[in-house]
Amino acid sequence: MTEAGEDLAALLAGQEPQGLPERGDLLEGHIISIDSSGMIVDLGLKRDGVVMRSDLERLHPEEAQFQVGDPIAVMVIAPVDSDGNLLVSVAQARESSDWIEARRLMEADEILEAAPSGYNKGGLIVPFGRLQGFVPASHLSNLPRGLEEEERMSRLADMVGTAMPFKIIEVDPQRRRLVLSERKAVRQWRQDKKKELIESLKEGEVRTGVVTSLREFGAFVDIGGADGLIHISEIDWRRIEDPGKMLSVGQEVETLVIRLDKESNRIGLSLKRLQPNPWEAAAGTIEAGQVLEGEVSLLTSKGAYINIGDNLEGFLQVSDGGAGLVPGVKVSVRVVEFDPGRERLDLELLPEES
């Protein structure tokens, strides 16, 4: 058996075929006859292998120049057909190198590029050498769930003929299953791009980017092929609850690189640090006991945040649940503690004059 044959035999069965041949076994023999119905191959077994004419027609013309006596590799497709024949395939045996290469790519976690050749309701069909791979719709990053069937089929049709990245996620020669994922390839490509970007970035660098998505904890911004995160606490000097009230997807923003985590492949960004620090600006101008005028900007279960101007907010602890305090209400407060280094301003509510 050739080296490629040994590799495929290991891939298919984990060992050399023992006893009767099984579907998927790769065997070697010699051609003993060729006629209009196909070819007979001596495999050194009790029965000769039968190659149907339709199987030979799957080969390229230059690959189908056979002579009696030629050594040949075949794959078992039916140990016993309805007529008692041992059916074998030359075409499937020739695909052995493609199965081996597919397994290598999967185990190496490599990305390949290919153009889909067709589609069906379930996803895309992608050529891989002599094989056809299948990409389930759930593994396509640009095919949202919940689409009407007409829109879904239209989007799949638009992908045919367009080169795309894929990762091989299943290789099963016996079941003739070759499954690919575009979603996983894109995810890995983005992670690889992020690694490259992290290597080139420096903390303190300013980068222009585009907001790609919003989450309750912040916003992701593409700063050159990879996303960094602006945590909600780094969007504005004032406390905010919803990043969507400050940013929108597609918006171009200027950001400051504040953290590079090579181990976890994360980039931390900030918007607020490109603006003057209101805590530093207020140092020396605010002191304990001082009376200030402000406006309620946010209510929480523990108290209220009071905007006293110049992007500076203090915290007002409320023991009675904040009766009468609603966002927008103006209040008079007294400074209990001011620590600009810790960005802390504790306030108390002044009693209303009778």
13-39 pLDDT, tens digit each: 443 444 678 887 878 899 999 999 999
The answer to the question of residue 289 being in a domain is yes
Tokens of 278: 């209101």
Query: Residues in the chain, how many?
Result: 354
The answer to the question of residue 259 being in a domain is yes
Task: Indicate whether 51 and 10 sit together in one domain.
Answer: yes
Total of domains in the chain: 4
pLDDT score, position 6: 55
Report if pTM > 0.75: no
The answer to the question of residue 193 being in a domain is no
Task: Indicate whether 62 and 124 sit together in one domain.
Answer: no
Q: How far apart are CA 137 and CA 156, in angstroms?
A: 9
**Enclosing H/E stretch for 158:** helix 149-159
Task: Indicate whether 264 and 219 sit together in one domain.
Answer: yes
Task: Indicate whether 10 and 73 sit together in one domain.
Answer: yes
The answer to the question of residue 55 being in a domain is yes
The answer to the question of residue 56 being in a domain is yes
Task: Indicate whether 84 and 123 sit together in one domain.
Answer: no
pLDDT score, position 354: 47
Mean local confidence (pLDDT), 194-210: 90
Q: How far apart are CA 103 and CA 107, in angstroms?
A: 6
More confident residue, 354 or 280: 280
Task: Indicate whether 268 and 291 sit together in one domain.
Answer: no
Task: Indicate whether 16 and 68 sit together in one domain.
Answer: yes
Bridge partners, 296 (sequence order) = 306
Task: Indicate whether 169 and 235 sit together in one domain.
Answer: no
Task: Indicate whether 326 and 251 sit together in one domain.
Answer: no
pLDDT confidence of 302, banded at 50, 70, 90?
Answer: confident
Q: How far apart are CA 341 and CA 268, in angstroms?
A: 22
The answer to the question of residue 17 being in a domain is yes
Task: Indicate whether 265 and 302 sit together in one domain.
Answer: no
More confident residue, 81 or 237: 237
Least confident interval from 4-13, 262-271, 343-352: 4-13
Q: How far apart are CA 287 and CA 334, in angstroms?
A: 10
Q: How far apart are CA 354 and CA 348, in angstroms?
A: 18
Residue 170 belongs to domain spanning: 109-187
The CATH number of whichever domain residue 256 belongs to comes to 2.40.50.140
3-state percent breakdown (helix, strand, coil) of the chain, nearest 5: 25, 40, 35
The answer to the question of residue 194 being in a domain is no
Question: In a 3-state reduction of DSSP, which class is residue 73?
Answer: strand
Quick one: which of 11, 14, 30, 179 has its CA closest to 100?
11
pLDDT score, position 15: 37
Bridge partners, 251 (sequence order) = none
Q: What is the DSSP letter of 234?
A: G
pLDDT score, position 317: 84
Q: How far is CA 77 from CA 171, 272, 327, in A?
A: 18, 66, 75
Check if the beta carbon of residue 325 is closer than 8 Å to that of residue 331: yes
Q: How far apart are CA 330 and CA 304, in angstroms?
A: 12
The answer to the question of residue 127 being in a domain is yes
Question: In a 3-state reduction of DSSP, which class is residue 225?
Answer: coil
Residue that terminates a domain, selected from 274, 294, 316: 274
